[in-house]
Amino acid sequence: MQFIVPQFIDVENKIIGPISTRQFIIILVAGGLSFIFYKTMNFLPFLFATIVVLGIGAMFAFVKVNGQQFHYFLLNIIQTVKKPRLRTWQKYLHKAAPTKSIEIKVLPQQKIVSSSHLAEISLMTSTGGVFKDTTKNKNNNN
């Protein structure tokens, strides 16, 4: 069976000439904010706010960094700043931190099992408990 494999999955759908849906919505939101500024502010603050908002909107709509849209690039920067992947050891980072006393607990030594005893246990489990060591009984009785 043959299947059709999509080839250009990273290309956005164009709605108005070279402008994609995402770009159109970003420009629409920036224009709406500009209109709100026009109705609520005096001319000089409106002009400054409009230039800033339209500049940021154009940057989010049209700028690509390393083939990524700007908002993905900005999210990657924020994520890297918050939690960097490269972790470095800084020996003298906390010089003034108070030292804590550490209690060391000594665990009791465990009995060392000899290889002959392990072989006896292995033989006993392999035979289903039929084999029992008779040499221990003879040594204990003497």
pTM flag (> 0.75): no
**In a domain? residue 73:** yes
pLDDT digits (tens, 9 = 90+) for 50-79: 999 999 999 999 999 988 899 999 999 998
Domain span at residue 44 reads: 14-82
At residue 15, φ and ψ (nearest 5 deg) are -110, -40
Gap between the Cα atoms of 113 and 14, Å rounded: 76
**In a domain? residue 56:** yes
**In a domain? residue 41:** yes
Burial category of 73 from C-beta neighbours within 10 Å (exposed 0-12, middle 13-18, buried 19 and up): middle
Q: Look over the chain and give the mean of its residue pLDDT values, rounded to a whole number.
A: 82
pLDDT digits (tens, 9 = 90+) for 4-49: 888 877 778 888 888 999 999 999 999 999 999 999 999 999 999 9
Task: Give the count of domains, the chain.
Answer: 1
Tokens in use for 19?
Answer: 């402008």
**In a domain? residue 92:** no
What's the residue count for the chain? 142
**In a domain? residue 102:** no
